[in-house]
A and B are shown apart, each in its own frame.
Chain A
Amino acid sequence: DAKTTQPPSMDCAEGRAANLPCNHSTISGNEYVYWYRQIHSQGPQYIIHGLKNNETNEMASLIITEDRKSSTLILPHATLRDTAVYYCIVRDYYGGSQGNLIFGKGTKLSVKP
């Protein structure tokens, strides 16, 4: 089962920041937080991941709380092309025999003009 909880849907106005929350209260010290998104029936697209520090790349920023029990993905200036299902996933850093991604239901983000 997925170890994360996300709101099923969110709306965001075009040009505004989209803040997508994720709860992972049972995360362990060895687990990363990964974010992917899936635009209608395409393959999931990797966005960003982090362990404990905040991370930023050309697509988004990831803010992880100090206790690591929740995180927020921030799309700074949402466009209509950001409309997608966003998945938050926790994944064991050491992989072992369980390196696969366990997807939950994600958050359906709708960016509106």
Chain B
Amino acid sequence: KAGVTQTPRYLIKTRGQQVTLSCSPISGHRSVSWYQQTPGQGLQFLFEYFSETQRNKGNFPGRFSGRQFSNSRSEMNVSTLELGDSALYLCASSLQAGTETQYFGPGTRLLVL
């Protein structure tokens, strides 16, 4: 069974731009969570989607948003990019929401110049 896939793998943007990252979960998985990893803050939870609904959100500004489609694929969007948004963005999928084991994708490395 194929794992979690994320596109693109690498991205360079400039301040003020916006970016959309994509995540395809493991086949049959209905929950997708997003995490941000930076050297200073480590791995931090962004949000979780299940059945096209956001069911949990971390402590990030409203510039960070996401959505989930009926096929469970998910996108996250960051608007008005700041230098501090440079990070590895990780997507994880699980069968159901909340308690199931989460399996991570390889991540998208975003560099904001």
Contact = CB atoms under 8 A, between A and B. Distances in A.
Interface of A: 34, 36, 41-46, 49, 87, 91-105
B42 A96 contact: no
Contacts of B97: 95, 99
Given A41-B109, A100-B58, A95 B45 contact: no
Contacts of A93: 99
B102 A46 contact: yes
Interface string B46-61: 0010000001101000
Interface of chain B, main secondary structure: strand
Contact of A95 (B35, B88, B92, B98): B98
A34 B90 CA distance: 18
Interface residues of B, number: 26
Interface string B33-51: 1010000001111001000
Interface string B2-46: 001000000000000000000000000001010100000011110
Contacts of B92: 43-44, 101
B66 interface: no
B90 A100 contact: no
Nearest to A42: B106
B42 A105 contact: yes
Contacts of A49: 101
A41 B33 contact: no
Given A98-B56, A103-B42, A43 B107 contact: yes
B105 to A, nearest CB: 5
A41 B55 contact: no
Contacts of B103: 46
A25 B43 CA distance: 22
Nearest to B104: A43
B45 A101 contact: yes
